[in-house]
């Protein structure tokens, strides 16, 4: 079996409303969609979501790089995932999001060839997976309203985007807590933990101040994700040692080399693995193996992917017991859902994986025909 043709799609999905994090505001999901066709009739699908403020890629730069990557893969055996992805990495050492879309499509083909769902192809089994839901940066009042909605929908964890300044971010936290305590005086909301995410928005003094103040909020803070700049490993370690809130690496963790450094420096309590950030499943497996050996539990996270890539992420999480948390809610913000098959969300947050061979998801042909496309054959 060889790769006969590759189609590259400009995969735009409108959002219900703009969403803001400390690094910027996103108005639409501008993703990449890769379709790898083989001479044996098997097709693999992959998706990447290039957050320029995190990975340094845009949709335009990704599509340009993808044309060169596609030419490198033509005529190769798609089951040689290690050889194919290594070739892409050597040719363009950057572009992890673009590479992740190719990687995902190759794993889709390999699992289909083995007639196994991806979680089984990765050596795992189905297990219960539950995602949180994210509240993006807004006024304290609006963020409190969203927290109430998530709780009323049966949310199991509320992820709170922060990363501006200490007074404003503390006001957001207090507003959320006050709204929940006033609406649910029986305090059942205590069973829904908070997950903070500053997206590198704080300096060390600000992070230290905010995380120390959490002791005045009678609630479980499960972790704080990437409180300081990605290269500031020293202060990540100091915040971890302070012990106010467990610390999770996101933007500080792209690949296995980053994972080794974070472990060596004892810098964080948890890792956030994202396929679009790590370059795909192959490198994510390396990161998780390092984490598991070091006793560092992981979360599987997302950028702004559709249910296609979210399904691949969920397969990975199901296949690896060291993945303790799921943050797979990106599609909640999408105005359109062009994916056929794929994961389903039972009771809003409980993830149900498909059992079809491969990822078990593809794109509605009608939606696909409307996307700008480049064919490399």
Per-residue model confidence as pLDDT tens digits over 126-155: 999 999 999 999 999 999 999 999 999 999
pLDDT band at 201 (very low <50, low <70, confident <90, very high): very high
* Measured distance CA(169)–CA(198) in Å, rounded: 10
Which of the residues 112, 240, 274, 277 is marked catalytic? 274
* Measured distance CA(60)–CA(109) in Å, rounded: 26
Question: What is this structure's pTM?
Answer: 0.96
371 and 349 in a common domain: no
DSSP secondary structure letter of residue 341: E
* 5: alpha, beta or left? (left if phi > 0; alpha if psi -120 to 50): beta
Q: How many folded domains does the chain comprise?
A: 2
pLDDT band at 92 (very low <50, low <70, confident <90, very high): confident
140 and 49 in a common domain: no
CB 112 within 8 A of CB 42: yes
225 annotated to bind ligand? yes
Looking at residue 322, what is its pLDDT?
98
Q: Could you give the C-alpha distances from 56 to 2, 308, 328, 336, in angstroms and in order?
A: 32, 22, 22, 26
272 and 161 in a common domain: yes
CB 300 within 8 A of CB 323: yes
CATH number at residue 169: 3.20.20.120
Query: Does residue 274 carry a catalytic annotation?
Result: yes
* Measured distance CA(323)–CA(319) in Å, rounded: 9
Taking residues 202-220, report their average pLDDT.
Answer: 95
91 and 68 in a common domain: yes
337 and 257 in a common domain: yes
Looking at residue 150, what is its pLDDT?
97
Handedness of CA 80, 83, 84, 86 (dihedral sign): positive
329 annotated to bind ligand? no
313 and 372 in a common domain: no
Whether 224 has a pLDDT exceeding 90, the answer reads yes
CATH number at residue 53: 3.30.390.10
- The vertex-305 CA angle with 75 and 345, nearest 5°, equals 120
Taking residues 345-366, report their average pLDDT.
Answer: 97
Looking at residue 186, what is its pLDDT?
81
350 and 202 in a common domain: yes
Query: Could you read off the pLDDT of 250-263 as tens digits, one per residue?
Result: 999 999 999 999 99
86 and 17 in a common domain: yes
Taking residues 20-36, report their average pLDDT.
Answer: 95
Residues listed for the chain? 377
**Share of residues in the chain with pLDDT > 90 (%):** 95
Tokens linked to 169: 């971010």
Whether 318 has a pLDDT exceeding 90, the answer reads yes
247 and 151 in a common domain: yes
Query: Does residue 277 carry a catalytic annotation?
Result: no
Which of the residues 159, 161, 240, 277 is marked catalytic? 161
Looking at residue 185, what is its pLDDT?
78
Which of 217-221, 223-227, 278-282 is least confident? 217-221
CB 292 within 8 A of CB 319: no
**Domain of 347?**
121-362
C-alpha gyration radius of the chain: 20
283 annotated to bind ligand? no
15 and 149 in a common domain: no
Q: Could you give the C-alpha distances from 217 to 93, 180, 248, in angstroms and in order?
A: 44, 12, 20
300 and 274 in a common domain: yes
371 and 335 in a common domain: no
Spatial CB neighbours of 176, under 8 Å, sequence gap ≥ 6: 135, 140, 143, 144, 147, 158, 160, 194
CB 99 within 8 A of CB 85: yes
């Amino acid at each position: 079996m060889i790769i006969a043709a590759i189609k590259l799609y400009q995969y735009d999905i409108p959002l219900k409303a703009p969403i803001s994090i400390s690094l910027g505001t996103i108005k639409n999901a501008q993703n990449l969609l890769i379709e790898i066709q083989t001479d044996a009739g098997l097709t693999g699908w992959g998706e990447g979501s290039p957050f320029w403020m995190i990975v340094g890629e845009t949709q335009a730069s990704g599509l340009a790089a993808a044309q060169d990557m596609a030419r490198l893969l033509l005529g190769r055996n798609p089951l040689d995932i290690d050889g194919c992805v290594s070739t892409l990495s050597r040719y363009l050492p950057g572009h992890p999001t673009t590479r992740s879309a190719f990687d995902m499509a190759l794993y889709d083909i390999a699992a289909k060839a083995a007639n196994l769902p991806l979680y089984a192809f990765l050596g795992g089994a189905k297990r219960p997976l539950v995602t949180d839901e994210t509240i993006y940066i807004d006024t304290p009042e609006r963020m409190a309203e969203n927290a109430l909605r998530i709780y009323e929908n049966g949310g199991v964890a509320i992820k709170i985007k922060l990363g501006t300044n200490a007074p404003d971010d503390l006001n957001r936290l207090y507003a959320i807590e006050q709204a929940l305590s006033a609406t649910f005086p029986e305090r059942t909301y205590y069973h829904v933990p908070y997950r903070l995410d500053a997206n590198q928005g704080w300096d060390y003094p600000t992070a230290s101040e905010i995380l120390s103040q959490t002791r005045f909020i009678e609630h479980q803070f499960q972790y704080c994700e990437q409180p300081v700049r990605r290269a500031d490993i020293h202060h990540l370690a100091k915040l971890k040692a302070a012990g106010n809130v467990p610390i999770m690496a996101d933007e500080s963790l792209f690949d296995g080399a980053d994972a080794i450094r974070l472990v060596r420096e004892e810098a964080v309590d948890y890792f956030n693995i994202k396929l679009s950030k790590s370059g795909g499943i192959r490198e994510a497996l390396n990161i998780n193996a390092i984490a598991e050996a070091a006793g560092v539990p992981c979360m599987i996270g997302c950028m702004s992917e559709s249910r296609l890539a979210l399904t691949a992420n969920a397969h990975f999480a199901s296949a690896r017991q060291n993945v303790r948390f799921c943050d797979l809610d990106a599609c909640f913000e999408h105005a359109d859902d062009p994916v056929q098959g794929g994961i389903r969300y039972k009771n809003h947050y409980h993830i149900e994986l498909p059992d079809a061979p491969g990822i078990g998801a593809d794109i509605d042909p009608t939606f696909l025909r409307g996307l700008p496309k480049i064919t490399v054959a």
